[in-house]
Amino acid sequence: TFSGEKTEFGDSVLKIPNLVIRKLYAERIREMFLPGSGDEIVRTARNFYKSGEMGPLCDFIEQKYFKIFDNRDYRWANELTVKTAFLTLLFDDIFYIMDSETSLERGYADMTMIARPDMRQYPLLDFLMEFKYVSLKDAELSGEQAKNMGIEELRALAPVQKKLAESETKLKEYQKILLSEYGDLLRLHTYSLVSLGFERLIWKKLEYKAV
């Protein structure tokens, strides 16, 4: 539906009208890309909800989600593609208040997952994420080379380091805003994530001190 906003060229900006439709979109995309993987997705997501361990989640996306893309899909590759993958896998409106492009004062966080008040009795963590994308061309790597590199080698790549630094600056500000709003109630885990083509995911967890 129309959001009431305009692009710089005056085009109307569309938005998903409500939470029910957003959930339907997430479920439809998930089933379209990963048919028959429902139980595995639930296990992977719930492990992440309680542990905050990004490694297994990224491994699942690399091994399952990224496998459906081919060379033609690189024409449309960007940060939104990566964010959509995470959003469709982690979407749960029973446990979480989930938002994409969350408005935080004068900025927009890529994705927030705040446990609902009536669900805080369960072992649910809160999450703040920022997504970046680096093409294989910019990294001067082939897909095969990227697959064979260790995570620390990938983190050391100059284009990856640049993207991690960019998102870290934003995330520190978003952290302060969320912590000032929720205080000690928040069990916040903050991640900067960089997708290297549709081959690898590199992440960095940001530590914080409660305010």
Binned at pLDDT 50, 70 and 90, residue 124 comes out as very high
DSSP 110-178: EEEEEE-GGGTTSS--EEEEEEEEE-HHHHT--HHHHHHS-HHHHHTSHHHHHHHHHHHHHHHHHHHHH
Greater pLDDT, 66 or 128: 128
- Region 133-160: mean pLDDT is 93
Whole-prediction pTM: 0.77
What's the pLDDT tens digit per position in 5-53? 777 667 776 665 555 455 555 555 556 566 555 678 889 999 999 999 9
Map tokens 């979109």 to a residue: 25
**What does the pLDDT read at residue 84?**
83
